[in-house]
Amino acid sequence: MATAETAFTGNAKQQRSPSTPMATEPPAPANQPMYASRPEIYPRSVKGAFRKLKWAGLWVLLGLYYIGPWLRWDRGPGAPDQALLIDMPGRRAYFFGLEIWPQEIYYITGLLILGAVGLFLVTAWAGRVWCGFTCPQTVWTDLFMWVERKIEGDRNARMRLDKGPLTASKTFKKVTKHIAWLFIALVTGGAWIMYFTDAPTFVVDFVTGQASTALYGFTALFTATTYVLAGWAREQVCIYMCPWPRFQGAMFDEDSLIVTYEEWRGEPRGGARKNQSFEGRGHCVDCGMCWQVCPTGVDIRKGQQMACIGCALCVDACNNIMDRFGLPGDLITYDSINNQLARAKGEPTRKRWFRPRILVYIGVLTIVASIMVFSLATRSRLEVNVLRDRSPLFVKLSDGDIRNGYTFKILNMEREAKTYTLTTDGINGATMAVIGHQKESVPTVELPVKPDDVAPFRIFVTAPRAALDGKSTDLDFVLTDNHTGEIVEHATVFAGPGQ
Ligand code: SF4
Ligand code: SF4
């Protein structure tokens, strides 16, 4: 492997690779056909502050993802004890002590809004941090590249291996790499499934061949997508498939942090030897390290590009080179446009963290988060749905009274059996009969509901004709929790024949 030391002694041949005519230019397809074939990218390993940050983020995020389904949370008998679970058959989402019913899907909407605005805020502050450090595509591609490097070696070794003939050693390395990738993809796909079913049960069922066809199918699907996207597609997902790079520019301003090359300091570039004078020339020694470490093959010296995911590995690479030549760091810098312009003019730099757009994002985040926290803290665990019979609208009884039918559903979202008292309000003399519970029509009925259940009741409300206001009279159902005293009211109408 050509070391950085040899690369900057002016021996350009040592930088050249079999697939690249010039080491200082990233590979590009010849003649630019309408659909260009993908130039293979062989990212070189690099050391530095941003690489350390990326490793830390990668291991933390992967750890959280793989460990997540194994965390337990005691919710009492009969309830799943998995801390993070989306229970599709049971129609519930569990997040530690929080239990979301389908009727409360707006909390998921709130979370998505928080996520989106949070992303806008981070992008306006620090550029493509999401893309470069935390996006699953970036994290798994980084992991797959790490595995590839461990098995096939660094950039030059991999290039030699791919160019070379098919030998036993090459076959062994390639097969080992793909087995390792498939194993990671299987664990990743399986972990995703575990967020939707009990993790220990799934693992036992999966390895003993007792899991359902659907579970095997979905595991295979997510295994295949992980393997293809992180192993084969890699940077093409960011460049061609992902919509985010296409509109994230709207969040940037001149004070957002971005990765850029300080052209005013780097040009005119050229090869250099150690201890030589840089008087009258730029600091870029044209070593090509910046694009050789780039996971998307970008030469950042050509200016900002959509393919640049902001991972800052080129900053590390260039800083290492600047160190070797005793030059100031940050020729490729992770800083704002304003600060770069200030440095070019010899003016002091400054960080403007709180700009109007940042304050707007923080404001929206605060409002949405406050609404969600307040709503969660005060949410009722009792809900009522009422559906009035449409056919017939009403029945005239032999004694002249009018009867309406309703389907009355009580959602008991607590894990204990409840008994509720139901009354009506708005029509004098109204009484109720409940099929299977209350045969005679009475003013007040008791309704039992099992723990964590939705109980439907067929209720017939009977009212004296004289108490009605024509064809439609307002009627309230008033439901009281006998244990807590919590009251839920539901407004509806009572249909009559008119005057
Ligand atoms: S910008 Fe830095 S890393 Fe890139 S070619 Fe110039 S000196 Fe090398
Ligand atoms: S140009 Fe630099 S910051 Fe952009 S993707 Fe490549 S290495 Fe990362």
Token digits for 275? 């201890």
Q: What's the distance, CA 117 to chain centroid? A: 13
Nearest CA to ligand 1 atom 4: 290
Nearest CA to ligand 1 atom 6: 284
Among the bound ligands, the one closest to the CA of 303: 2
CA of 26 to the centre of ligand 1 (A): 13
Helix H, strand E, coil C: the string for 280-328 is CCCCCCCCCHHHHCCCCCCCHHHCCCCCCCCCCHHHHHHHHHHHHCCCC
CA of 2 to the centre of ligand 1 (A): 15
Nearest CA to ligand 2 atom 7: 294
Where exactly are the structural domains of the chain? 4-27+37-249, 251-344, 382-495
Nearest CA to ligand 2 atom 6: 294
Nearest CA to ligand 1 atom 2: 318
User: Do 416 and 449 contact (CB within 8 A), yes or no?
Assistant: no
**405 backbone dihedrals φ, ψ, rounded to 5°:** -110, 145
Nearest CA to ligand 1 atom 8: 287
Among the bound ligands, the one closest to the CA of 307: 2
Among 287, 294, 300, the mutation site with the greatest number of ligand 1 atoms within 8 A of its Cβ is 287
Residue 43, preceding peptide bond in cis (omega within 30° of 0): no
Pairwise CA distance, residues 461 & 456, whole Å: 16
- Predicted local distance difference test score (pLDDT) of residue 9: 34
Residue 190: which of 178, 173, 204 has the closest Cα?
204
- Predicted local distance difference test score (pLDDT) of residue 27: 62
CA of 286 to the centre of ligand 1 (A): 5
Ligand 1 atom closest to Cα of 261?
A: 1
- Predicted local distance difference test score (pLDDT) of residue 5: 34
194 contact partners, CB below 8 Å, separation of at least 6: 69, 70, 202, 203
CA of 341 to the centre of ligand 1 (A): 20
- Predicted local distance difference test score (pLDDT) of residue 15: 36
Nearest CA to ligand 2 atom 8: 311
Residues with CB under 6 A from ligand 2: 259, 293-294, 296, 298, 300, 308-314
CA of 72 to the centre of ligand 1 (A): 50
Pairwise CA distance, residues 348 & 366, whole Å: 33
Pairwise CA distance, residues 319 & 334, whole Å: 12
CA of 179 to the centre of ligand 1 (A): 36
Pairwise CA distance, residues 433 & 447, whole Å: 11
Nearest CA to ligand 2 atom 4: 308
CA of 268 to the centre of ligand 1 (A): 12
Among the bound ligands, the one closest to the CA of 128: 2
The CB density around residue 408, as the number of other CB atoms within 10 Å, is 25
Per-residue confidence in pLDDT tens, the chain, 499 aa: 333 333 333 333 333 333 333 455 666 655 667 777 778 999 999 999 999 999 999 999 999 999 999 999 998 888 899 999 999 988 889 999 999 988 888 899 999 999 999 999 999 999 999 999 999 999 999 999 999 999 999 999 999 999 999 999 999 999 999 999 999 999 999 999 999 999 999 999 999 999 999 999 999 999 999 999 999 999 999 999 999 888 888 888 999 999 999 999 999 999 988 888 999 999 999 999 999 999 999 999 999 888 999 999 999 999 999 999 999 999 999 999 999 999 999 999 988 889 999 999 999 999 999 999 999 998 888 999 999 999 899 999 999 999 999 999 999 998 889 999 999 999 999 999 999 999 999 999 999 999 989 999 999 999 999 999 888 999 999 999 999 999 999 999 999 987 6
Residues with CB under 6 A from ligand 1: 261, 266, 284-290, 301, 317-318, 321, 331-332
- Predicted local distance difference test score (pLDDT) of residue 274: 84
Token digits for 297? 């093959």
CA of 177 to the centre of ligand 2 (A): 25
Token digits for 238? 């960011």
DSSP string, 141-191: HHHHHHHHHHHH-SHHHHHHHHHS---HHHHHHHHHHHHHHHHHHHHHHHH
Residue type, 283: H
- Predicted local distance difference test score (pLDDT) of residue 353: 86
Among the bound ligands, the one closest to the CA of 127: 2
Question: Would you say domain 382-495 falls under CATH 2.60.40.10?
Answer: yes
Residue 42: which of 177, 164, 154 has the closest Cα?
154
User: Do 402 and 441 contact (CB within 8 A), yes or no?
Assistant: no
DSSP string, 256-275: S-EEEE-HHHHPSP----TT
CA of 137 to the centre of ligand 1 (A): 27
Pairwise CA distance, residues 458 & 435, whole Å: 6
Among 313, 315, 316, 321, the mutation site with the greatest number of ligand 2 atoms within 8 A of its Cβ is 313
* CA dihedral sign of residues 372, 191, 88, 130: positive
Q: How many CA atoms lie within 13 A of 394 on its CB side?
A: 22
The three-point CA angle 263-267-271 to 5° equals 130
CA of 297 to the centre of ligand 2 (A): 8
